[in-house]
Amino acid sequence: MFKVFKAFVRKEFYHILRDKRTLLILFGMPVAQVLIFGFAVTNEFNNTKIDVLDYAKDTTSEQLINHMQSSGNFVLNAMLTSEQEMEDGFKAGTSKIIVVIPENFGEDFYANQTLTIQVITDGSDPNNANTLVQYVTQMVNSFKKEKTAGEAPPFQIQTETRMLYNPQLASAYNFVPGTVALILLIICAMLTSLTIAKEKETGTMEVLLVSPLPPFMIILGKVTPYAILSFGIALLVLLIGNVVFSVPVMGSFGLLMLMCLLYVITALSLGTLISTKSDTQQKAMMTSLMSLMMPSMLLSGFLFPMSSMPLILQYIGHIIPAKYFIDILKGVMLRGVGADFIILEIGVLMLMTVVLLFFTWRSFKIRLE
């Protein structure tokens, strides 16, 4: 029986190695995705252009402007002279954020008067606008602290924040686990559902079913190569994360691999289930994109925080395997916890896998009847 299995796996590798599209998805996509998420999709700002409308034009306002540029987050784009120019800049798209410094800024500042600095941003891009405003507020606060050092009233309450496990708030810490989860899903679920659907399309599945091969063996032979490859690719993504973006693996590496294996099995059973329901590659592709990729990306908490979603979407998020896998990865990689801390997530993933395997087995049986 093992010989038959070997013949099957060898054939499957021929398919993979001879199909450029599959190869591209297998190796091109993970690397591209990590690098794109790493370098392009980032919440950190560097060298954002800032416009200033300075009504004060005194030493203190000049110091404030210099102070804001000192962080490296902002560079001065233009000194505006009128409100009219503000609107023109936003409409033309050349201005992203404008700071308006009021008249008598220096005098009022040292006189400890309440004064207001106006910050105007382009709200059509709310995420960016929010972050930019936060940055400016931080810079203004630190400017105030610097200039009034020692004179601060004694009753002032200071908050001191510390971000555990990711002190620099590097976005890589979030997207590397997320990317691993997505990539494994694409390879295991989408590619296996495609390859099984392809056998149906070309009629070879019919011949295999008439052969003495047990159906279980057909599926196992088809998914094994993808399981092996996806493991290698998960390692590759973790390696890129570690070398290029310095994302650590704090916990046990063995546990991490074991969890990847569990998730691979979950994804494979999903892929097989989809393939039993789709007769063509096109259908398999659409189903995996719609029911796997989109929710895993949008609702798993990978890109958007789950707690801020409407309740119904939160519920949907909770039945997405990727959510639990991302939680597990973050636990093991960033917080360095052992299996006992993520036992709930492991349990849920296992349960999902068992349920999926049951449905796959059942729908496969119905097909044969």
Partner 1 sequence: MSKAKVITVQDLTKKFGDFTAVDAITFDVYEGEIFGFLGANGAGKTTAMKMLNGLSKPTSGSGTVAGLDVIKQTEKIKERIGYMSQKFSLYEDLSVVENIQFYGGVYGLSRKRIKEKTEEILTELNLQDVAKKLVKSLPLGWKQRLAFAISMVHDPAIVFMDEPTGGVDPKVRRQFWEAIYEASKKGRTIFVTTHYMDEAEYCDRVSIMVDGKIEALDTPDKLKEQFNAKTMDEVFLKLVRN
Residues of this chain that interact with partner 1 (CB under 8 A) are 3-4, 6-8, 10-11, 14-15, 18-19, 202-204, 206-213, 368-369
Least Å from the CB of residue 74 to partner 1: 55
Q: What angle do CA 226, 230, 236 make, to 5 degrees?
A: 150
Q: What angle do CA 170, 49, 80 make, to 5 degrees?
A: 150
- 169: region left, alpha or beta (phi > 0 left; psi from -120 to 50 alpha): left
CA distances in angstroms from 215 to 95, 205, 209, 276, listed in the order given: 63, 10, 7, 12
As a whole number of angstroms, the distance between CA 359 and CA 272 comes to 10
Q: State which H helix or E strand residue 172 sits in.
A: helix 172-185
Helix (H, G, I), strand (E, B) or coil at 74: strand
Least Å from the CB of residue 188 to partner 1: 21
- Residue 328: both structure tokens together: 């597990």
Least Å from the CB of residue 228 to partner 1: 19
As a whole number of angstroms, the distance between CA 135 and CA 132 comes to 5
As a whole number of angstroms, the distance between CA 90 and CA 124 comes to 11
As a whole number of angstroms, the distance between CA 40 and CA 353 comes to 34
Closer to partner 1 at the Cβ: 209 or 354? 209
As a whole number of angstroms, the distance between CA 184 and CA 267 comes to 7
Least Å from the CB of residue 9 to partner 1: 10
Closer to partner 1 at the Cβ: 10 or 57? 10
Closer to partner 1 at the Cβ: 142 or 363? 363
Q: φ and ψ at 104, to 5 degrees?
A: 55, 35
Q: What angle do CA 301, 304, 306 make, to 5 degrees?
A: 50
Least Å from the CB of residue 196 to partner 1: 14
Closer to partner 1 at the Cβ: 215 or 295? 215
- Residue 207: both structure tokens together: 């011949």
74-80 and 118-121 as β-strands: parallel, antiparallel, unpaired? unpaired
Closer to partner 1 at the Cβ: 150 or 203? 203
Least Å from the CB of residue 204 to partner 1: 5
Closer to partner 1 at the Cβ: 141 or 202? 202
Q: φ and ψ at 336, to 5 degrees?
A: 65, 35
Closer to partner 1 at the Cβ: 10 or 362? 10
Closer to partner 1 at the Cβ: 163 or 209? 209
Least Å from the CB of residue 283 to partner 1: 18
Least Å from the CB of residue 288 to partner 1: 22
